[in-house]
Amino acid sequence: MQAVGLLYFLLLTSLCFDLAQNERNEMSARQRRRLHIRRFRKGSSSNHRSNRQSRIEHTTRTTEAPRLPLVNVDDSIVEIYDSLVDLRGGESSYNVLPGKKGHCSVNGMIMYNKAVWSPKPCLICLCSNGNVVCDETICHPQTCPRTMIPDGECCPVCSDSHSLLDDKPEFSGDSPDPNDPSDPLPLQPSPNQGGEGQSLGREELRFKEEEIHKRKEEQKKNTEEERLKGVQLEDAEAKAEEKRKLYEEEERRIEEEELKRRKQEEENEKNLNEERLLNEGDEEGEEDEEDEEEEEEEEDVLRGDVFRMPSRFPIPVPPIEAPPLPSACSISDNTVSCINAKLTQIPPITDPELTNLELVGNAITSIPDEAFNGILNLERIDFSKNNISSSGIGPQAFKLLKKLKRLYLDGNNLLQIPPDLPSELEELKVNENNLQAIDEDSLSELKNLVTLEMEGNQLSEANVNPLAFISLKSLSYLRLGRNKFRTIPQGLPASIEELYLENNQIEEITELCFNHTRNINVIVLRNNKIDESRIAPLAWINQENLESIDLSYNKLYHVPSYLPKSLLHLVLIGNQIERIPGYVFGHMEPGLEYLYLSFNKLNNDGVDPVSFFGAYHSLREFFLDHNDLKTIPFGIPEMKALHFLRLNDNKIRSVPPERICNSEDDGDSSLEHLHLENNYINTREISPYAFSCIRSYSSIVLKPQKIK
């Protein structure tokens, strides 16, 4: 009985030992399989993690979704789905906008139709006809107690002692160290494993060596494939960009043809309407019209060589943006200012609200007909200091500027007045050019012109037509200085108020010069060659509004007679005047107020007490400085309205008590400023009553004086 029990015990022990050994062997095989699978998955994930296509394949493999093949469409690589049956996602809330022609706009990038991308792990998006459809990966639940998400993946996997192989770094050599204690699967046999442990260690060592070799080969292969794919993708993108440009050019060409066709249709329709009115009821006319309509319908048909859209579906015209202004230009309110900006042409501007355009100090040489097409509301243009020539101005350049009031062309190379200037022009400046002539028609349309300046040119009575100014009905301000006139220009308009003819070669003033200029107020003739004997007695004596005459720096020897009755301001500086004739101002009403005789040759013999008759009650400023006077002239105390008296830089030696102030009428004197410096006066000998009529002694200038 004991023997039988012992036998049963041995059999039971042997059976348990066999079961335990089988379980251990089965666990070792399972470990090897899991090691192989995890090594393969880790290598594949690390080699393709940077590639967008591999991420998509890896994610879809996790969810058992269909693969995403690469196909070639129109010589470009596009990612598409084989089937969208398994896509459970709807229209994504991802921040996208539907694009044109099936394209999608994602974060500022254009995705072509059928393009697939992964904006983040576990999310795959597809561009489908302008809409973005995204699908999120669904992970299978894990029953293990501990899970982890490997790098490059989105679904969790079980985390056990064997999973540490995924995170173990690769060996630096070709084969692993069998004695490394950090290896989670030791390759040395344990005492309990015996020969089977040694066999398992050798087998796993060989398996690791093969895996390392395969991984290196696969890395090389994947690197080469990625390089080839990158080159193909760049070529495909370049081809796609080239096709896009060709398509845009074709669209522009089609648009231009469509516009031409519409214009032709409008002209044909207009002609047909006129013909219908002339031949109303004529059957032949109706047949012709039907033929025209048939021809127009035929034009809308698509031909094989030209892509055209039907007229009822016009191609939208994109807005054409003008190029930006040069950096040296500035915009303020309704003004564009490009001063000294080194421009060689007028910048393209399309702003209908613009009213002022300043292009001073550039190198512009021409003004074409279309220069102001986008800025027709201009009121002021300044082209001063450029290189514009008459031949460079288009015949229609200014014609459409109906609101232009002021045009400045100073400092250019013009030979003539620009043609077809707008009739609304009020101010025209063409100073410092090379004007050679003014014809009868040069200014004929400028009936609203108020100011005309043409100084510094080559104008004279020989090349200025006598009828050149006759049509300027509103002209009041005319400047013709620094030219070559020998006489006053003829044909001055009756409306003129101010005339400037300084720095010419005028020698004579005839009786006909100002016959029709009844409103003239100012005449400036300084720096000419006028002699008092060449001024006609009736040249301007009857002018009722002429108040100011400037005859400085001419060839006058005495103050001219027959001055205008209305004269208030007479400037005779820089002549050779030696005498002021008696009663020369006696006929003036209300009387001369300003008389400037500086820098002449007056002495005491040329000034009489009656020289200022008619001006005693009105003269306010009297300049006699820089002459040859030895004493203070007679008549100064009688000038009750005098405020300013200049007698400096003469040869005066004394100031008698009664020559400036009259002690009896000190209360009536208005004298405020007195200059007597640079004479030969001994200031210690001046009487204390000599300046008693002057209100403030600080306004009397006596020093310095010359040495005797």
CATH number at residue 348: 3.80.10.10
Total of domains in the chain: 2
Whether the Cβ atoms of residue 485 and residue 459 lie closer than 8 Å to each other? yes
Coil/strand/helix, residue 660:
coil
Listed residues 414, 434, 454: the one ending a domain: 434
Whether the Cβ atoms of residue 621 and residue 639 lie closer than 8 Å to each other? no
**Burial class, 29, CB count within 10 angstroms (exposed 0-12 / middle 13-18 / buried 19+):** exposed
| Model pLDDT, residue 194 | 44
173 found inside a domain: yes
Residue with tokens 């792990």: 121
Say how far apart CA 642 and CA 646 lie, in whole Å.
11
CA dihedral 182, 185, 189, 194 (to 10 degrees): 150
Hey, what are 178's tokens? 């069998």
Hey, what are 659's tokens? 């020559």
Question: Whole domain around residue 143: which residue ranges?
Answer: 18-178+189-221
Say how far apart CA 428 and CA 383 lie, in whole Å.
11
Question: Which H/E stretch holds residue 60?
Answer: helix 52-62
480 found inside a domain: no
162 found inside a domain: yes
Listed residues 405, 434, 463: the one ending a domain: 434
Name which of 322, 332, 355, 357 is nearest 343 in CA terms: 357
* Residue 480 vs residues 123, 369, 435: alpha-carbon distances, Å: 83, 29, 11
| Model pLDDT, residue 424 | 94
Same structural domain, 203 and 334: no
Hey, what are 161's tokens? 């002692």
Residue with tokens 């040859």: 628
Q: Write out residues in the chain with pLDDT < 50, as ranges.
A: 36-37, 39-99, 161-200, 298-313
426 found inside a domain: yes
Among the residues of 523-562, which ranges form H helices?
none
How many beta carbons lie within 10 A of that of residue 575, not counting itself?
23
Give Cα 416 distance to the centre of its chain: 31
Residues near 214 by beta carbon (within 8 Å), at least 6 away in sequence: none
70 found inside a domain: yes
| Adjacent-strand bridge partners of 380 | 356, 406
Listed residues 162, 197, 221: the one ending a domain: 221
Say how far apart CA 92 and CA 465 lie, in whole Å.
82
134 found inside a domain: yes
366 found inside a domain: yes
| Model pLDDT, residue 389 | 95
| Model pLDDT, residue 51 | 44
| Model pLDDT, residue 250 | 76
Give the N- to C-terminal CA distance of the chain in Å, as an integer. Answer: 174
Q: In the structure, how many helices (H) and strands (E) does the chain have?
A: 4, 27
Same structural domain, 162 and 27: yes
583 found inside a domain: no
